[in-house]
Structure 1
C-alpha cells in the first residue's frame, strides 16, 4: 500500500518545474522544421508545455484567452447607461430632502405661531418672510431642468432651506470633483472630500505648477521636478512618482481611463456628464485643468491607450465604480498588448508579472515565472548561448537534438513491422547477431557456453561431470562492420518546406549524424544540401539548416558532383550516397551557371544522369528516398537505379526515418562467421 503525505502550500514550493532535456525535446520539432532556435522558443512560449510532473503549463495563447474571457465577463456584467441613474437618484434625494425640509420648517413655524399667544403679533412678519422664501424655493425645485447637469447647475445657486439637503448636495459635488480630479490624479481620490477651501486652493496651485513644468519641457528647458515634489509631493501619496516621465505616464493612464469612459457612453450621456463635472468645479480650476489636459494631449497623445468598451450587462454602476472598472479594463488591455508583443518577438521578460497575478491569479504568475526562467535554464545547461540579441545552439545543444532524433526514430522502429534496430556490442570478431554456429578451424574462438553445454548434455545425457568433445563447441555468429563513407543529399527546394517534408528529412540527417558519430566513429559522413545549387553543409550548422523559400530549382546534378568529390577523398570499400528528395531534377550547372526549367528539360535530365554514371563508375551506390510519387520523379529515379543498381524507396515524411535507418544499418553489415 502506498502512503501519501500532503502539506499546505506556503509559497516556497514550486509546483511547476521544467527539465532541460524535456525543454529541448519540446523545441526539437520546430528547430528541425525551421532551423531557428529563437522562433522555436517563441512558439514554445505561445503554446506552453508539460512540466516534469506532467502538468500542463499554459502558454501565452492560453493566457491571452483567459484574459479575454475575464474582460468579456466584465463587459457582459455591467450596464454603463446606469451610471447616470446613481447621480440622478442622489439628486432626487437632495430635492426630496429639501422639499421635506421646507414643509417641516413651515409646519414648525405655524405650530409655533399658533402657540405664541400674545407674542403671535410679533411673529407674523417673520412668518411671511419664511413663507415667501419657501414659495420661491419650491417654485425653483418645481422648475428644475430634466437633465442632471442642469439640475446641478441650478442647485449650485440655490439657497437651501434644509441643512441636510445642503449637506447631501455638497457631498454630491465633492464626489463629482473627486471624479474630475481622479481624471488626472489617482492619489487624490480620498483626499478631496475632506479638503478645506485653503487646501483646494493649494491643489490648484499644484496644478498650475505642473502646467508650468510641462510648458518648460515643451520649450526644451529642464523642469525642476525635485522642487515640485518637495512642495507638492503629498498630493501623490502613496505612490509618489520618481521622475517627471513617471508622473506623465501616471497622468496618461488616468486621462486615458476617463477618455475610455467617455468614449463608451452615448453622445447624450457623455455631454451630460461633462456638463455635470464642469458645474461642480469653479471656473478658474476648470481653466487650469483644461490647460493641463490640452498640454498632455498635445505632448503625449493617449489615443492608443483609450478604448471604447461595449457594455452589455444589467448590473448598475456608480461613477466611482465605472472609473475603477475602466482602469481594470485598460490594465487588461495593456497586459494583452504585452502578450501579443512577446508572441511576436519572444522577449518574455517583458510580461508584467504583477498584472498577470492581478487579473489571472497566483498560479498564472508562477507559470509565467517558470517560462521566464526557461531560457536561463537552457543556457546554464550548456544547450544555448547568446550571440548579440539572439540565441543559438551550442555544440552540446546540437548533440542533444541529434540524440533525441535518433532515439525517436529507433523508438518508432521498435513499434513498426519493418523490424527493430539491433543493439551493438563490441567484440574481437565484430558484432554479435544473437545466432550461433558449430566451431570450425580458423573461426574466432568466441564460445557460446550455453549452446556448447547443451550439445554435450544432448549427446551424453544429464550426468556430471560434463564431458566436452570438439563437435560440442558452438561459437557466437558475428558480423563484420565494414568502414563506410556516406554522403547524405538533402533536398532544400521550396516544395520540401511548403508540403511539410523538410522537418522529417532534417530529423533523419540529425539522427544519421549522431548514429555514425556515436556507433560507427570510423565511418565518414558528409552532408550536402541542394536546391538551385548544391552546397556542403558543416555538421555544426545542421540544427539551423532550413529549406530555400525564395529560389526555384532542384539541382541534383550539382549535388552529385559534390558528393562524388567528397567520397573520392576516402579509401574505403563502401561508398554510398543517400538522397532524400520530393521532386525530379529541374536545374543543372553549365559553365558555372544554373539552368532551370519546369517541367524538367531533356538537357537537365541528361546532365544529371551523366553524373549518376560517373558515380557508378567510381563504385558509388546511390539510394534514393522519394517523398512524392509524381510521374517525372518516378520515371527519372527508375532510370537512375537501372544505371547505378542502387535502391529506390517511395515513402511519406512520417515513415522516412525508419526506411533510411533500416536500410543504412542492414546494408553496412556482412557475416564473417
Structure 2
C-alpha cells in the first residue's frame, strides 16, 4: 500500500494533532462494526472522548459535564441569601441596640442634671421613642422601613442605619442590574432616573418587537443612550438575554429559600425598589423578559449552602448556575452529534476555563470535518455511511491488515505484502500516491499540469499532477465472501473482524483489480447476498442456524456466469447446523443431524464440479468440528486455515494477494 501524507498550512489556533475526518472515522470503525449503528458509535465517541496519535486525551462530553457539575457545586457553596438576610437583620438589631443605649444615656444625663424640667421633657421623649419602637412591626422588612420615619436620638445609631440602608439599596440594585455596579456606587437620584428610563425604553422595545412594529427608540438610539449598561451587546436579543439572565437569577435566589424566607426577602426587595421608585418599571420589564425568553427556566431553584455574602453575590452565582444548566442541557443531550454544534464555546471558556473550551472546539471541528468529508449522509432521521464512507472504512481496514502483515512476519512467508505490477497495460490511469510505482501516463499528467497552471511553457509538474498507468492482471478472478452471521460469531467477538476483513478485501479488489468480480453472502438460518455498502451496519441473524449449504448454493449461483479463477472464501466459527428443505424452508438442529451435513457436502461437490474453489477460514473452531471443515478441503481441494480472530484479516489478505498474483 502506498504511504499517504497530508500537508497543510499551519495557522494561528491550529493544533498539529487535531483529528480530521479520516482519523475520526477510523476511531469509529470498531464500534460501528460492532452493532452497525453509526449514530450510536459517533455519540459514544463524542461522550467518551479519545486519545490522539500524539497521546493527548481529548475530553468527551461526559467529562465536560462532570466539570460543569463540579463547578455548580462550587458556586452553590458560595451563595446563601438567607445568611445575608440574617446579617441585615442582625445589623438592624445592632442599630436598635445603639438607639436603646442612646436613650438610656440621654435619660441618665437628664436625671443627673438636677433640672426637673429637663428630666420631665427627657422622660416624655424617651417614653415616646420607646413606645414608637414598641409599636413597630415584628417583621424585619416592615420594621426596617418604619425606621425611615423614626427620629433617632443616638447620632451613632442614625449613622449606622444610614450605612445599613445605603448598602442594602446598593445590594438590591446590584442584584437586578449587575451592569450598573460601576455607575451607581451609592444610589444617586439622577442615575436612578436614568435606570428607570432605560427599563421603560427596553420594555417598550420588547413590546413593539412582539407586535412586529418598528422599534422606537431604535436599537441604535437605545444603545447610544444606555449602551454602558450592556457592554458587547450587538442586538436587541443580546440586551434581552443579559437582562433576562440576571432577572432569572434573582428569581432563582427567591426560589432557593424556604417559603418564609422567600416571602420576607421579596417583601424587602419590593419595599426598597418601591422607595427608589423603580418597582413599577422593574415589574413591567420582568414580565416582558419572561415572555421574550421561553428558553430560560424562570422557576429554577438551587440548593445553596454558602456562608453568606451579598444578595448581588448570590445573584452572580445563580446567574452562572443558570448558564451552566443551559450548557449541561446541550452537553447532556441524548443525541450529542446534534447538540455539540450548538454548544457555546465562549460560555464554556467563561465558566470552565480554556482547556475545556479547547476540547469542545476540537470535537466540533472533527465533527464538522466528518460531515463535510462526504463519508456520512443523513437517510431520513438516521445517520449512515455514504458509499464513499464505506470505501474509506475498507481502506482503513486494508491499511491495518497490511501493517499487521508487515509487523508480524510469522503470519506470512512474504517479506512485504505489496502487490506486484504485471499484466497488460490498461487504457485507464489513476492519481499517483507517494510510495506507489511511478509509471506515468504522460498525456493525463501533462493535461493536469496545464489545467493547474494554464497554457505556456515550460510546463512545470507538481506531484499532484501525476497520473500513473493501470495494469490489468493477466487473468481475471471472481470471489464470493461467505460470512457466518450466526449468533456465536457475535458472542465470540468474531463478527467485527470478519466485517473488517470483507471491507478491506473488497476495497483492495475494487482499487487494484477493478475488472474482478466480487460479491458478499451472509448466512445464518438462511443465506442472502449483501450489498457492500450495507456491511458496516450488518448485524447477526438472531434466528438459530449456520446454513453453509444455502451459502454455498447462493455463491455458486452468483459465480455461474463468471470466467477465470472462481473462489468462495468461507469465514465461520462452527459446523453446519441448518439446511434448506425441499420446500425451501430452513431446518435447524443441534447437534447437527446427518441430513444437514450430507446436504452441505453435496453442495461442496457441486461447487467442485463447477470449478469453484472453496477456501475456508475456521475461527476458534472446536477440535470436534475439525473433521467437517477438513473434509471440505479434501473434497474441494481448497485451502483450510485455522486462525484466531486477531489474525483473520491478515491470513485472508495474504492468501488472496499470494494466489491473486499467481493466477
Q: TM-score, normalised by structure 1?
A: 0.71
Equivalence for 2:499: 506
Distance 2:52 2:253 in 1: 42
Contact 1:83–1:322, Cα closer than 8 Å, also in 2: no
Distance 2:384 2:36 in 1: 10
Alignment CA distance shift 1:162-1:304 (3 Å): same
Alignment of 1:239-318 (within 5 A): 239=231, 246=238, 248-282=240-274, 286=279, 289-290=282-283, 293=286, 304=297, 306-312=299-305, 315-318=307-310
Q: Please say if 1:67 is aligned against 2:76.
A: no
Alignment of 1:572-583 (within 5 A): 572-580=564-572
3-state SS, counterpart of residue 227 of structure 1: coil
Equivalence for 2:483: 490
Alignment CA distance shift 1:305-1:25 (3 Å): farther
Alignment of 1:346-385 (within 5 A): 346-377=338-369, 384=375
- CA-CA distance at 1:324 after TM superposition: 0.8
Distance 1:497 1:180 in 2: 65
- CA-CA distance at 1:318 after TM superposition: 2.4
Contact 1:623–1:647, Cα closer than 8 Å, also in 2: yes
Alignment CA distance shift 1:326-1:250 (3 Å): same
Q: Please say if 1:657 is aligned against 2:649.
A: yes
3-state SS, counterpart of residue 73 of structure 2: helix
Distance 2:561 2:311 in 1: 84
Q: Deviations over 1:602-652 (max 9, x none)?
A: 787776555444323313233344557589988975776676565665655
Q: Please say if 1:48 is aligned against 2:49.
A: yes
Distance 1:425 1:654 in 2: 21
- CA-CA distance at 1:161 after TM superposition: 4.1
Equivalence for 1:221: 211
Distance 2:161 2:349 in 1: 40
Task: Decide which structure has the larger Cα Rg and report it.
Answer: 1
Distance 1:16 1:425 in 2: 30
Equivalence for 1:324: 316
Q: Deviations over 1:566-604 (max 9, x none)?
A: 32232224533323467855574877x765767699787
Q: Deviations over 1:25-84 (max 9, x none)?
A: 333323433555555443333333344643223222222222222333344566665333
3-state SS, counterpart of residue 333 of structure 2: helix
Alignment of 1:65-104 (within 5 A): 65-76=66-77, 81-99=82-100
**Which deviates the most, 234-243 or 248-257?**
234-243
Alignment CA distance shift 1:244-1:161 (3 Å): farther
3-state SS, counterpart of residue 282 of structure 1: helix
Distance 2:596 2:208 in 1: 74
Q: Deviations over 1:280-337 (max 9, x none)?
A: 2438865665565567657866784654333456x43222211111112222222222
Alignment CA distance shift 1:426-1:35 (3 Å): closer
Distance 2:509 2:415 in 1: 15
Alignment CA distance shift 1:72-1:589 (3 Å): farther
- Matched length: 597
Distance 2:103 2:344 in 1: 57
Contact 2:171–2:310, Cα closer than 8 Å, also in 1: no
C-alpha root-mean-square deviation of aligned residues, in Å? 4.9
Contact 1:42–1:346, Cα closer than 8 Å, also in 2: no
Contact 2:419–2:657, Cα closer than 8 Å, also in 1: no
Q: Deviations over 1:110-158 (max 9, x none)?
A: 99x89xxxxx99xx67x86566444433555577666543532443443
Distance 2:579 2:149 in 1: 91
Q: Please say if 1:526 is aligned against 2:526.
A: no
- CA-CA distance at 1:354 after TM superposition: 1.0
Equivalence for 2:608: 616
Contact 1:305–1:330, Cα closer than 8 Å, also in 2: no
- CA-CA distance at 1:390 after TM superposition: 8.2
Unaligned runs of 5+ in 1: 1-10, 115-119, 431-479
Q: Deviations over 1:544-568 (max 9, x none)?
A: 4432588877654544333212322
- CA-CA distance at 1:513 after TM superposition: 2.5
- CA-CA distance at 1:488 after TM superposition: 0.7
- CA-CA distance at 1:184 after TM superposition: 5.3
Unaligned runs of 5+ in 2: 1-10, 424-472
Contact 2:527–2:550, Cα closer than 8 Å, also in 1: yes
Distance 1:367 1:97 in 2: 58
